[in-house]
Amino acid sequence: MEKYKLRYLQRFLRRKMGINDVESCINAMNKLKNCALACYDDIELEGQILDGNIVVKFSEMLLLDGCFVIEYIREHCKVIPFGEERIIKRECIRKQLKRDLLLVENQLPFFVLTTLHDMSKEDEKIPFINMVKHSFSLSNKSFVETEGNDEKIKHLFQLVHMCMSCRPSKVKTRQIRNRSLSGVSFTHIGNIFMRSLDRENDNDLGGNASLFDINFENGLMTIPCFRVVDDIETLMRNLIAYEQQSSDVHLRYFSDFAVFMDYLIDSDKNVSLLRMNGIIVNKIGDDKEVANFFNKIGKGIVVSADYYYEEECRKAVQYCEKPLNRIKANFRHNYFNTPWAGISTLAAIILLLLTVTQTVLSFLSTLKK
C-alpha cells in the first residue's frame, strides 16, 4: 500500500503551483501537529516534550496518509488531473481500501484533510463533504446537518456515522429514566406478522427508508429492508464501537438496532421468516450465517437508559403473551406454515365438513324412516 500512497502524494504535489515540494507541505502539517496530536487519546501531551524525530515522523505521516485519503476520494469522484487515470484500478484493492478507511483506528483528524484539500483544490466546486458522501454512497438525509460544519467534524468516520444516522420518520420521545429490558424476549416471535417497509435497494444502509423506522401495531411489525452483504459486519461493528466509545454520540441508533435484531433472531428459522417477508436480504450464504452475524454484533452492547425500541419491544411481548394470540399463532404456524400445508389443512377441513354433513344427513334419513 505504501507505493500507492507515494503515487497519490506525487499527484497531490502536481495539483497546483506553489506546493511543488514535500518540505512546504510538511511545514503546513507542522502548524497542525499539536492540534492533531491532541486528537489521539493514547498520546499524552501534558507535561511532556516529544522527541523531535517523532514529531517530524508524525508530520510526515499526516501528509502521506492525508494526501492518500484526499486523492482517493477525488479519484472516486472523477476529479483527476487531465490525461491521468486511476492509480488503483483493481476493484478488490479498492474495496479493501474503502473498508480500511472506515476503521475507527485508521482515522485522521478531519481538519487535516480539509486543509490539504483547500491547499490543492483547483476549480472544482464540489464541497469536500459532498465528495465524501459520494465516495461512500451515503444518504443526503442525514440526522445531523453536515453542510458548512467542517470544523465540527472530528474525522471521516464521524461524518459517515452522521450521514448514515438518517432521521426516522417518526420522532419518538426519549425520556431518560431507570428502565430494564431483562424481561424482554421474542420467544414467541412467530405470533407476530412481519412486513418490510421497503424492498431491496442498491444501498447497504443508506436507502430512502430509515433503518430505524421500526413499528409494532396490532400484531403487525414493520421493519425496513436490511441487506446482509460481505462487508456489513465490519461496518456495523465500527459504527457500534464508535457509538459506545464516543462522548459526542447521544443517540445510539446502530447499537439499539443491533440489540433489537439480537432479541428478534435466535436461529436460522427466525432469519428465514424475516427473509420471506422481505425484511432481510441475504447475500452472504445460508440463514444460519445471518443469525450468527446478528447474534455476534448484539453481544456486549450496553443497553442505553433511553433504548430507542423499548416501546416496540414491550408492545410485541405483551401481544405475544395473550393466550388467544398464542392459540391463533400456534394454529397458523402448525397448519399454515407453508402453502402446501395450508392447502392440506383446508382440504382436511373441507373433507371433515363433508363427512359431518353426510353423517348428519344419514342420521336424519334414518329418523324419517
Read off the pLDDT of residues 187-210 as tens digits, 9 standing for 90 and up.
455 556 666 766 454 444 444 557
- Residue 29 resides in a domain: yes
Q: In whole angstroms, what is the distance from residue 154 CA to residue 113 CA? A: 10
Whether 112 and 244 map to the same domain: the answer is no
Beta bridge partners, 166, equal: 142
Confidence of residue 64 (pLDDT cuts 50, 70, 90): very high
CA gap 221, 198 in Å, rounded:
13
Phi–psi pair at 226, nearest 5 degrees: -125, 120
Q: How many helices and strands, by DSSP H and E, does the chain display? A: 15, 5
Lowest mean pLDDT: which of 24-28, 250-254, 277-281, 318-322?
Answer: 318-322
Say if residue 295 is in the same domain as residue 255.
Answer: yes
Q: Which residue has the higher pLDDT, 48 or 338?
A: 338
Any domain includes 252:
yes
Per the DSSP assignment, residues forming a β-bridge with 217 are 220
- Map residue 291 onto helix, strand or coil: helix
Identify whether residues 222 and 299 lie together within a single domain.
Answer: yes
Whether 41 and 122 share a structural domain: yes
pLDDT band at 81 (very low <50, low <70, confident <90, very high): confident
Mean pLDDT lowest for which of 7-11, 46-50, 74-78, 364-368?
Answer: 46-50
- In sequence order, the 6+-apart residues with CB closer than 8 A to the CB of 232 are 204, 205, 284, 293
- What pLDDT score was predicted for residue 40? 77
CA 112 to chain centroid, in Å, comes to: 26
- The alpha-carbon radius of gyration of the chain (Å, integer) is 28
Of 46-50, 192-196, 240-244, minimum mean pLDDT range: 46-50
In a domain, 200, yes or no: yes
226 and 269 belong to one structural domain:
yes
Comparing 62 with 369, the larger pLDDT belongs to: 62
- Domain contains 230: yes
Return the percentage of the chain with pLDDT > 70, whole number. 74
Pair 23, 138: CB distance under 8 Å: no
pLDDT tens digit sequence for 217-229: 888 888 888 889 8
Return all residues near 189 (Cβ < 8 A) that are at least 6 apart.
264, 270, 273, 320
β strands within the chain, DSSP E: 193-196, 215-217, 220-223, 226-228, 280-282
Q: Is 153 contained in some domain?
A: yes
**Same-domain status, 20 and 72:** yes
Residue type, 170: K
Average pLDDT of the residues of the chain: 78
Whether residue 248 is predicted with pLDDT greater than 60 in this model: the reply is yes
For 108-147, how does the pLDDT look when each residue is reduced to its tens digit (9 = 90+)?
999 999 999 988 887 667 888 989 988 887 755 444 555 5
Report whether 236 contacts 297 (CB < 8 A). yes
Is there a domain that residue 332 lies in?
no
Identify which of 63-67, 205-209, 274-278 has the greatest average pLDDT. 63-67
pLDDT at 197: 65
Q: Do 25 and 95 have their domain in common?
A: yes
* b/e map 159-198, b = 16+ CB within 10 Å: bbbbbbbbebeeeeeeeeeeeeeeebebebbbbbebebbe
Cβ neighbours of residue 147 closer than 8 Å, sequence gap 6 or more: 127, 129
pLDDT in tens, 149-180: 667 889 999 998 888 876 555 555 554 443 44
Residues 116 and 194 in one domain: no
Distance separating alpha carbons of residues 247 and 177, to the nearest angstrom: 19
Select, from the ranges 49-53, 185-189, 265-269, 331-335, the one with the highest average predicted confidence (pLDDT).
265-269
The answer on 315 and 195 residing in a single domain is yes
Phi–psi pair at 286, nearest 5 degrees: -80, 170
Can you give the residue range of the structural domain that contains 141?
Answer: 2-164
Does the residue 130 lie in any domain?
yes
Element (DSSP H or E) covering residue 319: helix 310-321
What pLDDT is attached to residue 19? 64
| Count of domains for the chain | 2
C-alpha cell at 96: 479493501
* Residue 73 confidence class, pLDDT cut points 50, 70, 90: very high
Take residue 158 and report the three cell numbers written for it.
464521524
Q: Does 203 lie in the same domain as 136?
A: no
Going by the DSSP 8-state scheme, the letter that residue 126 receives in this structure is S
- Return d(Cα 230, Cα 233) in angstroms, integer: 7
- The Cα 199–Cα 290 span in angstroms is 18
User: What's the mean pLDDT in 312-317?
Assistant: 81
Q: Are strands 220-223 and 215-217 parallel, antiparallel or unpaired?
A: antiparallel
Residues 226 and 291 in one domain: yes
The residue among 64 and 341 whose pLDDT is bigger is 64
- Residue 340: how many other CB atoms lie within 10 Å: 8
Q: Indicate whether 368 belongs to any domain.
A: no
Residue that wins the pLDDT comparison between 249 and 195: 249
The predicted pLDDT at position 114 comes to 92
204 and 148 both lie in a single domain: no
The whole-number pLDDT of residue 5 equals 92
pLDDT tens per residue across span 321-367: 777 766 665 556 655 556 666 677 778 788 888 888 888 888 777 77
